[in-house]
Structure 1
Amino acid sequence: MANRKDHERGEKRVVYATKRVDYLDAADNWEKLNSIILVESTRIVNNKESTHERIYISSLTHDCPQKYANLIREHWEIENRLHWHLDLTFREDDSRVRKDNGPVNLNIFQKFGLFLLTHECTLKV
């Protein structure tokens, strides 16, 4: 279980993990499926409580749900940092591209552009 309080939000996460994947009918569809993780997040924003459940599958075999909680949190911190960088560089949040595949295509080009910018090594004076 993890508790956080950021930006006037209270959040509690409970993580359940099992290595018992044999009861899933579709377990054979995922090569190296070793564990199933359920994250139950309860947030309080402006005195309103909401609960969301997310299910993850993994090839890892940890016995400790806290290890999964840490890995999942690290993953989302990386995702959030990438979004922050894209928004800062390309003003992604201000984009008006909303139709069809436009948002996905634009995001691909922005990530590629960000990759090129971060790997640019020429000397600039």
Structure 2
Amino acid sequence: MTLLFSNAGEPDWEVSHKGHGRLEHRQVWVSGELEGYSDLPSLSSVVMVKKRVSRGDKDPVDSVQYAVSSRRALSPGEALNLVRGHWSIENSLFHVKDDSFREDRQVLHCHHRGTVMSLFRNLAITLLRGNCNLWSTKESLIGRAQRLAALPITLFSITA
């Protein structure tokens, strides 16, 4: 993919974002030139995102990400959302499991027990995302998990 973007020229889209003590600048290129040239089924778009992160007086850090998509006529904004979307798993599942269920602090001496406990935590998070008379839909997932962690017996009072 590097060769595809070796003469990329001007980016299709640029965006800057400031927050959390850093300035992030992204440039996005989208190409449909590999459609039909690959063994990947349905390959339609290839994306390159160059990112520069500056944190105060420290030297800026540059990185490049590549992505492929089956969507045709992918706009640069949509492409950037797809590339950045990989963090949604971290923010919506692992963060909740680590902070609310303290999964990283669990010490189980048998691998199978750890797998079963992880499955139970995933089930609990799935239940927490649903509607229930114990919390409002405006309450955060972490707040719901902390409420159940404090009073786990309340889970048995849930009615469908």
* Both structures adopt the same fold (TM-score exceeding 0.5): yes
Decide which of 41, 48, 63 is 1:31's aligned counterpart.
41
Decide which of 20, 40, 50 is 2:50's aligned counterpart.
40
What is the aligned partner in structure 1 of residue 89 from structure 2? 79
Decide which of 21, 25, 41 is 1:8's aligned counterpart.
21
Per-residue deviation, 1:8: 0.9
What is the Cα-based RMSD across aligned positions, in Å?
3.1
Q: State percent identity of aligned pairs.
A: 22
Aligned length: 114
Divergent runs of 4+, >6 A? none
Q: Which amino acid aligns with 1:19?
A: G
Q: Which amino acid aligns with 2:24?
A: E
Per-residue deviation, 1:32: 0.8
Per-residue deviation, 1:107: 8.9
Could you say which structure has the higher strand fraction?
Answer: 1
Equivalents in 2 of 1:49, 1:86: separation in Å?
A: 32
**What is the correspondence of 1:1-125 to structure 2 with a 5 Å cutoff?**
1-22=14-35, 27-28=38-39, 30-46=40-56, 47-73=58-84, 75-76=85-86, 78-82=88-92, 83-92=94-103, 94-95=104-105, 105=115, 108-109=118-119, 110-119=121-130, 121=132, 122-123=158-159
Unaligned regions of 5+ residues in structure 2, if any?
1-13, 133-157
Equivalents in 1 of 2:75, 2:50: separation in Å?
A: 16
Per-residue deviation, 1:57: 0.7
Larger radius of gyration: 2
TM-score (norm 2): 0.56
Per-residue deviation, 1:12: 0.8
8 Å Cα contact 2:35-2:44 kept in structure 1 = no
Higher RCO structure (Cα 8 Å, ≥6 apart): 1
TM-score (norm 1): 0.69
Per-residue deviation, 1:108: 4.9
Greater shift, 114-123 or 39-48, is seen at: 114-123
